[in-house]
Structure 1
Amino acid sequence: MTTNADIEKTIGRDGVKSFSSPDRSMAEDLPVASGEDKGDESESGAYAPPSEKGETKPPDDKLSESKSDDDDDDDPPPPDGGLVAWLQLVAALLTNTISWGTPTAFGVFQLYYVQTLKLPQWKVSWIGSVQFLLTYGMCVVSGRLSDAGYIRSTFAVGAFLVVFGTFVTSLGYEYWHFFLSQGVTVGLGLGIMFMPPLQVLSSYFDKKRTFVMTGAATGTGIGSLILPAIIQYSIPKVGFPWAVRIFGFVALFCTVTAFLCIRPRLKPRRSGPLVEWSSFKERPYLLYSIGVFLLYLALFFGSFYINTFARDIIGFSTTNSIQLLLIQNGVSIPARPVVGYIANYHTGPMNTYIVTVILFAIITLSWIAVHNATGLYIYAVFLGLTNGVCQGMFLGSLASLTSDSRKMGTRIGMVHTIVAFATLAGPPIAGAIIDSSGGRFTYAQLYAGLAIFVASGFFIAARYAKTGPHLKVKV
């Protein structure tokens, strides 16, 4: 019977923990490290054995970089707890509430603009798609700035743009007003302010990293529940302009509080490129990036169009259709930290992510079978659970592929930039399919479900490239 001690001693070639029995001959050859000589072990179990001089061997992708003064001194190990560390979780959660709650809540704005401006679905969806594009696309810049040490200043610039753009949106009355203020200005701000708290949070935790990053992603569910509710239920009472301003004051409170909590821990990494192209030579990272692109082509299909489907196909009122969006976003809030805990301590982030994406594909395709109000309410619950967990596990699974915390911002930012183009194209493609089908959703639902299924295949391939044909591996 394999014991916990055996499991902890069994470390694969790629640095993943195996549930199989260890090879004694290999275990005896493994150098024993302690104190200053101990190798690095990431959340995924990545281990860098010490060199003959007792120094930690750098990751392979670091060999291609020129050595700088920033690399001379090792950073202290993550504390994995303490007041300051948990305050970083608060900062990241509040940032996620605005950074991802805002674009995820665009379904409410989509319905309002279509009804008020009398524009086709695909045209209005460009506002939300551009906002998503910039939110994800700016992550590669803000991620590199975060790694370089410009954490608080980068966050402050992004937060200002978000609040400013939101208040300017409240003054708009034509399509291009909303496109520039909400799509462009707010989108830029969301992307700029997102990466700094995430980079700081990941540097404070090692063994609990997947759990805390999934917990921070709970802010997305909170924001996508609270923010659309503010718009939907404030418009009848105070009108659209003041509803958006209330939205802006919530964003102001969250960003100021997050800014006060942020405390950078790592030494800045001034040297290094904006984009580390060598990362794509690693097959797990490359396959993961392709899979995420396909996933995010369809990830927000339900968020953008479930209320339109409810109103136009099932016959919901506008208010009841928004309730579906709130249900979808609300059920994901408790699901994210629970699944994050399971992934962190039991199954591994990548294993959990693969299962979740497959379930999400099945749920998306099952939308085709929904033909009445009861079925749509039930569907909204399952869609919210699977969609929310997919978003929540995204950062944890990606972090498991990065053992160097000082490169976390850059590598996560690179994948976010790839995802940016998927979120730009995804909703307009779905809207165009719906419009060309005479308002029917069947072909758009097929497109979304199949895209997610193909994405899951790439995630399985990424896991295989990381671990080989070993099922009982925590990664």
Structure 2
Amino acid sequence: MTDSMLYDEAALQAPASASQTDKNSVDSGLDDHLDAPDFPEGGFTAWGTALGAFLIQFCGFGYTSAYGVFQDFYTQTYLTNSTPSEIAWIGSVNAFLILSVGLVSGRMLDRGAFYHAMKIGCLLQCFFLFMLSLAKPDRYYQIFLSQGVGVGFAIGLTNVPSIAVVSHHFQRRRAFVMSFVVAGASTGSILHPIMLNNLINGRLGFANGVRASAALIGGLLFIANLLMRTRLPPQSKAVSYTRVLRKSSRDGAYVCACLGMALYEAGYFYETFYLQLDSTLHGLSQGFSFYSLTILHSGSFVGRLTAGVISAYVGIPNTVIGSSLISSAVIFAMTDLHSMASVALIAISYGYFSGGVVAMIGPLISYLTPEISDIGARMGILFAIGGIGSLTGAPICGAFLTSHYIWWKAAVFAGSVATGGSIMFASMQLILKMRQKTASVCSKEAGV
């Protein structure tokens, strides 16, 4: 469930002396929040922070993105008394909390409590993963509380700060570095399914397999905390979410971005939750089905890495629009999944383009944020709204799926809502273009 940072209407009114055009991260004609020399743009501390954030994403959203392994295992082996929709609630609540807790963790970053958020979140993630290993078969509530609620809340404390802290060290390279950071989630979503499938379905079994994965995550999170550092001083005055929300609600482009995020997220998790189960139940070999999520997330890894480069040429909004529209279309193709070739093609295509959307959400928020001090709050608000889509999308797909596995109904629903998100992103870009055109006309009249 990511790349750079910029602004909106207020940016067009900012004094020219306080800003400088950033041609690598934004469309021409808009100004940066701060002068580029204020940012180190490199060095051991800056790149160490980026690497630490990469590891946080690897262990956080990367682990959540592998939930399709658990969906398959729970449905067929461990929670056989529960429906696919009920089981999907575990993963969707997890994803919802990862995004919505950003309201709290983003504020903690702004107030200088970055290290507290990271330490608490990392410790809780390890604790709840070990608690998950103690869950018994057909004890739905045990898995729901530990994996859905506990792990989701823990990752939520680290998710937004790990992305936003990169903005302390980079501006000119921010889109590229943020795409590298969120590629950590893709790397995790490639490797975690392989590890979990072999551990849980292998000789170790569920309990020991989850414990082994928790031990690995604990070590990586420890390294990440040693590497990450903040640079900007904490704000002397707390950012008022009421003020930011009130101001943001009058920003049409930001509102469209929030609605687009919520709709897109509602369809986004369909493939990540159900692709492996779909492949298995369509008679494909277990060995290939186990690697279906790895194929998907390999495409996502490439998509996230290249999104920052592409956005430098076509712009961040256009990258989001194009990637979301194509990935939404690929969801509909799930209705024709029947062979190894179709699974591989769908997985790679969806992974690549959906990865581009995910990689650009962080930069998009910055692009729409006029004041750098509001980035944490605005990112938290948008992620919380997007989390509503994450919370409801997969369970609704499971309800359409039913215990009879009517795949086409779930695919059509997921594809439709994701397409609705693409339309909202396009509306956002239209508002930005109209705003830019109006500003251009006003500047010419002022010049006359």
Give your verdict on TM over 0.5.
Answer: yes
- In the alignment, structure 1 residue 293 sits paired with structure 2 residue 258: no
- In the alignment, structure 1 residue 103 sits paired with structure 2 residue 64: yes
Compute the displacement of 1:306 (Å): 0.8
Match of 1:47? 31
Q: How far, CA to CA, are the matches of 1:450 and 1:169 in structure 2?
A: 34
The secondary structure found in structure 1 opposite 2:229 is coil
Q: How far, CA to CA, are the matches of 1:352 and 1:76 in structure 2?
A: 27
Match of 1:92? 53
Match of 2:152 among 168, 172, 187: 187
Match of 1:176 among 130, 141, 159: 141
**Aligned in 2, Cα 1:218/1:31: closer, same or farther, shift over 3 Å?**
closer
> Which ranges in structure 1 are unaligned for 5 or more consecutive residues?
1-11, 17-29, 50-55, 57-73
Q: Which amino acid aligns with 1:328?
A: L
More helix by share: 2
More displaced, 197-206 or 165-174? 197-206
Q: How far, CA to CA, are the matches of 2:301 and 2:122 in structure 1?
A: 24
Q: How far, CA to CA, are the matches of 2:261 and 2:95 in structure 1?
A: 15
Q: How far, CA to CA, are the matches of 2:113 and 2:140 in structure 1?
A: 35
- In the alignment, structure 1 residue 212 sits paired with structure 2 residue 174: no
Q: How far, CA to CA, are the matches of 2:420 and 2:64 in structure 1?
A: 25
**Aligned in 2, Cα 1:141/1:41: closer, same or farther, shift over 3 Å?**
farther
1:296-375 pair list within 5 angstroms: 296-312=265-281, 314-343=282-311, 345-375=312-342
| Aligned partners of 1:170 and 1:245 also within 8 Å | yes
Q: How far, CA to CA, are the matches of 2:348 and 2:160 in structure 1?
A: 30
Compute the displacement of 1:368 (Å): 2.1
Q: How far, CA to CA, are the matches of 1:96 and 1:41 in structure 2?
A: 30
Deviation string 1:61-120 (CA, Å, 9 cap, x unpaired) is: xxxxxxxxxxxxx99822222221111211111111122112111110111111222021
Deviation string 1:246-289 (CA, Å, 9 cap, x unpaired) is: 11112112211111111111121232223521212111111110
1:377-388 pair list within 5 angstroms: 377-388=344-355
Q: How far, CA to CA, are the matches of 1:291 and 1:449 in structure 2?
A: 13
| Aligned partners of 1:75 and 1:266 also within 8 Å | no
Match of 2:429 among 458, 463, 467: 463
**Aligned in 2, Cα 1:106/1:13: closer, same or farther, shift over 3 Å?**
closer
Deviation string 1:375-424 (CA, Å, 9 cap, x unpaired) is: 22222111211222221222122221124222211110111111111111
Q: Which amino acid aligns with 2:395?
A: P
Q: How far, CA to CA, are the matches of 2:166 and 2:349 in structure 1?
A: 30
Q: How far, CA to CA, are the matches of 2:209 and 2:316 in structure 1?
A: 39
| Aligned partners of 1:232 and 1:319 also within 8 Å | no
Match of 2:39 among 75, 78, 90: 78
Identity of aligned residues (%): 27
- In the alignment, structure 1 residue 133 sits paired with structure 2 residue 96: yes
- In the alignment, structure 1 residue 159 sits paired with structure 2 residue 118: no
Q: How far, CA to CA, are the matches of 1:403 and 1:258 in structure 2?
A: 30
Compute the displacement of 1:469 (Å): 8.5
**Aligned in 2, Cα 1:48/1:379: closer, same or farther, shift over 3 Å?**
closer
Q: How far, CA to CA, are the matches of 1:227 and 1:31 in structure 2?
A: 48
**Aligned in 2, Cα 1:13/1:145: closer, same or farther, shift over 3 Å?**
closer
Whichever of the two has the greater Rg, that structure is 1
**Aligned in 2, Cα 1:371/1:32: closer, same or farther, shift over 3 Å?**
closer
Q: Which amino acid aligns with 1:305?
A: Y
| Aligned partners of 1:152 and 1:196 also within 8 Å | no
**Aligned in 2, Cα 1:13/1:136: closer, same or farther, shift over 3 Å?**
closer
Q: How far, CA to CA, are the matches of 2:182 and 2:110 in structure 1?
A: 20
Q: How far, CA to CA, are the matches of 1:107 and 1:371 in structure 2?
A: 18
Q: How far, CA to CA, are the matches of 1:427 and 1:460 in structure 2?
A: 24
Deviation string 1:15-46 (CA, Å, 9 cap, x unpaired) is: 58xxxxxxxxxxxxx9874xxxx426564364
**Aligned in 2, Cα 1:294/1:13: closer, same or farther, shift over 3 Å?**
closer
Q: How far, CA to CA, are the matches of 2:339 and 2:158 in structure 1?
A: 41
**With CA pairs under 8 Å and 6+ residues apart, which has the higher RCO, 1 or 2?**
2
| Aligned partners of 1:335 and 1:388 also within 8 Å | yes
| Aligned partners of 1:44 and 1:401 also within 8 Å | no
The secondary structure found in structure 1 opposite 2:26 is coil
Match of 1:439? 405
> Which ranges in structure 2 are unaligned for 5 or more consecutive residues?
1-7, 438-448
- In the alignment, structure 1 residue 418 sits paired with structure 2 residue 379: no
Match of 1:5? none
Q: How far, CA to CA, are the matches of 2:267 and 2:15 in structure 1?
A: 47
Match of 1:221? 186
**Aligned in 2, Cα 1:161/1:31: closer, same or farther, shift over 3 Å?**
closer
Q: What is the number of residues matched between the two proteins?
A: 419
Q: How far, CA to CA, are the matches of 1:246 and 1:382 in structure 2?
A: 32
Match of 1:279? 248
Match of 1:405 among 372, 392, 398: 372
| Aligned partners of 2:253 and 2:429 also within 8 Å | yes
- In the alignment, structure 1 residue 453 sits paired with structure 2 residue 437: no
Deviation string 1:410-447 (CA, Å, 9 cap, x unpaired) is: 110111111111111000000000117x3121111111
The secondary structure found in structure 1 opposite 2:241 is coil
Deviation string 1:203-244 (CA, Å, 9 cap, x unpaired) is: 211121111111111011111111121111112121211111
The secondary structure found in structure 1 opposite 2:291 is helix
**Aligned in 2, Cα 1:204/1:48: closer, same or farther, shift over 3 Å?**
closer
The secondary structure found in structure 2 opposite 1:300 is helix
Compute the displacement of 1:13 (Å): 7.6
Q: How far, CA to CA, are the matches of 1:468 and 1:75 in structure 2?
A: 27
Match of 1:62? none
1:18-33 pair list within 5 angstroms: 33=17
Q: Which amino acid aligns with 1:117?
A: L
**Aligned in 2, Cα 1:434/1:31: closer, same or farther, shift over 3 Å?**
closer
Deviation string 1:296-335 (CA, Å, 9 cap, x unpaired) is: 00001000011111122x2124432121111111222233
Q: How far, CA to CA, are the matches of 1:323 and 1:103 in structure 2?
A: 16
The secondary structure found in structure 1 opposite 2:238 is coil
Match of 1:199 among 164, 188, 198: 164
Q: How far, CA to CA, are the matches of 2:178 and 2:162 in structure 1?
A: 11
Q: How far, CA to CA, are the matches of 1:316 and 1:259 in structure 2?
A: 42
